[in-house]
Amino acid sequence: MRFCSELILGTAVAAAGLLPLAQAEAPLDAAPSPRAVSVVRGDARTGRLVRSVVVKSKPAVVDSDAAVRTLVEEAAKSHDVSPLLVHSVIQVESNYNPYAVSPKGAQGLMQLMPATARRFGVTDSFDARQNIEGGVRYLKFLQDTFKDDKLAIAAYNAGEGAVTKYSDVPPYAETQSYVSKVGAKYSKAKLEAEKAAAAVKAAEEPKLSEDETRHLLQYRDSEGRLHLATR
């Protein structure tokens, strides 16, 4: 039932810059994408060499919001993770940019680090299907590990080791801000889903006809209790 109410909101999730449908449906065992290359540059501040990932080329992007929503819903349902939580993570991580690369090297829609991608069987983090599948599997692992969505969200950002160390959200400004942003989006999405579900339920409830309403009577008995009856 949780998925029934939460998926009502799925069509209202705003997305920008999504993968073309053909790419979104690429098989999970596809060869690694040549779009990403590893580049070593000097850090002007520290003077150290820093390795980063750069996307060499990007194919034309078409409007495929529905395709990405479908991928999120399928992966979320398969692994028993709220699709609303997955959307909230994607919004904060990449704002639906499938080619996003962070300064630390996290890649794609759900910003998977290369080691995390390999850990969950992702060979191309810029493939929407693989990225979402890997990100959702990681979220499920974190939920099962910490039994708490807030800690799972914190671990998604800081790593499970940091959350285990502090037995709470780590005292890192970035992680605390991340947990706050994802939590706020998730809470808002759940509230909107509940309202939408209530509206659907109300619309489906049988209504009294005008004739039935006209013959509805009210009266009080000798003890003052109110009764309703039809005639």
pLDDT profile of the chain (231 residues), mean per 10: 46 37 33 49 62 50 73 97 98 95 96 97 96 98 98 98 97 98 97 94 74 62 70 61
Q: Tell me if 49 is assigned to some domain.
A: no
Q: Tell me if 17 is assigned to some domain.
A: yes
Measure CA 207 to chain center.
Answer: 37
Q: Tell me if 216 is assigned to some domain.
A: no
Range of 172's domain? 2-26+62-191
Domain count, the chain: 1
- Its pTM stands at 0.66
Q: What is the CATH number for 99?
A: 1.10.530.10
CA distance 99 to 102: 10
CA distance 197 to 90: 23
Q: Tell me if 228 is assigned to some domain.
A: no
Q: Tell me if 34 is assigned to some domain.
A: no
What is the model's pLDDT at position 3? 44
Return the exposure string of 194-213: e unless at least 16 CB atoms fall within 10 Å of the residue's CB, then b. eebbeeeeeeeeeeeeeeee
Q: Tell me if 220 is assigned to some domain.
A: no
Catalytic residue list contains 93: yes
CA distance 170 to 147: 16
Closest CA relative to residue 185, chosen from 7, 13, 5, 1: 13
What is the model's pLDDT at position 207? 67
CB 131 within 8 A of CB 109: yes
Q: Which of 25, 73, 74, 93 is catalytic?
A: 93
What is the model's pLDDT at position 225? 76
Q: Tell me if 50 is assigned to some domain.
A: no
Q: Tell me if 67 is assigned to some domain.
A: yes
Residues paired with residue 112 on neighbouring β-strands, in sequence order: 107
CB 101 within 8 A of CB 55: yes
Torsion angle in degrees (nearest 10) through CA of 59, 62, 66, 70: -10
96: enclosing H helix or E strand: none
